[in-house]
Amino acid sequence: MNILRAFFLKNLGLKVISVLLAFLLWLTITVPEMVQRTLSLPVEFVNMPSQLEISDDYDKEVEVVIRSDRSTSTLDERNLAVVIDLKGAVPGTELIRLTEGNIRNKPSGVEILFIDPARIRLQLESTLRKIVEVTPELVGNPANGFEVTNVRVIPSEVMISGPKSRVLSVSTAKTEPIAIEGHSSTLRLNAYLDLEDPRLRIENTPSVNMVVTIEEKRREVRIPGIPIQVLPHDTQAPLITQRAEIIGTVPLSFAGELKPEDFRATVNVEELEPRREPYELVPQVTVSEEYAGVFQLKSWIPERVKVRKIR
């Protein structure tokens, strides 16, 4: 007995230290080291009712503080998300409290310590569709001495859709900016549409065809004394108004001179019945082939001419 007592008491201090070290080693091996991390997880919606939309801005990401042992510290965040189920939602304001149950694909052994924000507020509205006009957006100025004389958009209208309040606030769909700086000829191109509001969509087509007509600037000219002729020529229909003044435009660079004989003004009385009261007719005006691509007719004076058909 004394031998055993002496064995245990001999170098007692060293033996106690050894036991303590062994215990600490056991703790290190058997008790996992806990780590804490903050993740930024995307917000996703499921079971969104048809014809219902989110109309306001909300938090697209949520910060989630987790705690886990080191063995799970390398989890792939791409598999995680904050999922909100909107089944049965109706138009109006929804205040959704986020809990651990909203975390998709949460690994076992991971503890959710904190979610920020803890609530997400959503403004839900009915979907509305509306036809709006397409507005071209031109940037810059044509070459010196040239101007935009016409802009044609095909189609000229498009169908848009989105949350009701946002659709009602929009009256046009703009094209992307079209640069015309320094151009001196007509542009034909395809242009994408820009609704600016990311919550609005274009239903039928994301782009339109455009024809931007760019021509030389023009000046106004007047040609008086254009004789008016009656058709058919063998008709007895004396003219009360016998001459007209024509008003039109020519390019600034045009140096020629237009004369009355370069034009033809006629009135056709073939289908008219003879009567004592004069008819007031709109003359048909044409320009000679030589100046067909130069002169553009604007108007004439008088707008109507008087003619009496005898037979």
CATH class of 218-307: mainly beta
Model pLDDT, residue 237: 86
Q: What percent of the chain has pLDDT over 90?
A: 67
- pLDDT recorded at residue 223: 95
For 40-79, give one letter per residue: b (16+ CB within 10 A) or e. Answer: ebebeeeeeeeebbbbeeeeeebebebebeeebeebeeee
CA 52 to CA 92: how far, in whole Å? 10
Distance linking the first and last C-alpha atoms of the chain: 159
* pLDDT band of 244, cuts 50, 70, 90: very high
Amino acid at 162: G
pLDDT at site 170: 93
DSSP 276: S
Match domain 127-216 to its CATH number in 3.40.50.300, 3.20.20.70, 2.170.120.40, 3.40.120.10: 2.170.120.40
For residues 284 and 18, the model is more confident at 284
pLDDT of residue 124: 95
- Joined together, the tokens standing for residue 202 give 């274009």
Lowest mean pLDDT segment, chosen from 23-27, 161-165, 231-235, 278-282: 23-27
The pLDDT value given to residue 2 = 56
Q: What is the pLDDT of residue 201?
A: 93
At residue 14 the predicted structure's pLDDT band, cuts being 50, 70 and 90, is: low
The pairing of beta strand 138-139 with beta strand 178-179 = parallel
Q: How confident is the model at residue 129 (pLDDT cuts 50, 70, 90)?
A: very high
- 3-state class percentages of the chain: helix first, strand second, coil last, to nearest 5: 15, 50, 35
Question: Both tokens of residue 168?
Answer: 């009602």
**193 has pLDDT over 80:** yes
Return the CATH number of 34-126, one of 2.170.120.30, 3.20.20.80, 3.20.20.70, 3.40.109.10. Answer: 2.170.120.30
The one-letter amino acid code at 174 reads K
Report the DSSP pairing between strands 81-85 and 34-46: parallel
Residue 273, pLDDT above cutoff 70:
yes
- The model carries a pTM of 0.67
Does position 10 have pLDDT exceeding 80, yes or no?
A: no
Contact 244, 226 (CB under 8 A): yes
What contacts 34, CB < 8 A, 6 or more positions away? 67, 68, 69, 70
- Per-residue confidence (pLDDT) for residue 217, from 0 to 100: 96
